[in-house]
Amino acid sequence: MSAAPDFSLTGKRALVTGAGRGIGLAIAQAYAAAGAEVTLCARTAAEIEAAAAALRAEGLAAEALTLDVTDVTGFDAAMQARPAFDIFVNNAGTNRPKPLAEVTEEDHDAVMSLNLRAAIFCAKAVTGRMLAEGVPGSVINISSQMGHVGAANRTLYCASKWALEGFTKALAVELGPQGIRVNTICPTFIETPMTKPFFEDPAFTASVLSKIKLGRIGQVADITGAAVFLASGASALMTGSAVMLDGGWTAD
């Protein structure tokens, strides 16, 4: 009989950005529960320190790293000061939904700086340490269904996530020979502090639900299983791929 899949993260070191709330925090909690030593990274000190403390109170291994990931130099310095991570979740992101006619240069720079520029250079810093220490690992870029389709009022967001998908495939090709896997997770609309205001509009909520074939808004718990899978040995042959957690949005 073949061996059962290994979802354990015992002995692994994981870094999750944007981990103070929402999807990032849920993934950090899942990793810690699976046995990983987790570093939660975000720019708001009180929030990230409270999150790490809550995990430690449950007997889990967690530390806080207060850092703005758009500070490329600062992030790289933080990585150079630490041993290589085995798992990296590139989660920090933002959105400024509006028609293109209303998009400003400041909107563009804010979305692209965090969703794309920071994601690329954070991955560079983390995988650079993996390569330097000969550590095979897993990089998980949190993308979106909007990296595979288009939507009104989301030109900037779609542009950033389509680019992230291309970056992921290219990096997977580049780092595969060194045993570093690179994949994306592509959620549909997930109820988080960032998206909650959108769902206060009944028309918007109805429009979203009309496209989600499973008929409900996603929850952060819907993301964590895939995140553990991609971080673990259970996905050892998977790289350059996108895990669609979109409730069927992109199926038609």
Which positions ≥6 away from 18 have C-beta within 8 Å?
24, 41, 42, 69, 91, 92, 93, 142
Active site residues: 157
Q: Please name which of 147, 151, 13, 38 lies closest in space to residue 93, comparing C-alpha atoms.
A: 147
pLDDT value, residue 196: 84
CB 117 within 8 Å of CB 164: no
Q: What pLDDT does residue 198 have?
A: 85
| pLDDT (average), residues 104-120 | 98
Structure tokens at 69: 């990931």
- pLDDT tens profile 119-171: 999 999 999 999 999 999 999 999 999 999 999 999 999 999 999 999 999 99
30-40 pLDDT tens trace: 999 999 999 99
Q: How many CA atoms lie within 13 A of 181 on its CB side?
A: 20
CATH architecture of 13-246: 3-Layer(aba) Sandwich (3.40)
C-alpha span between 152 and 98 (Å, rounded): 8
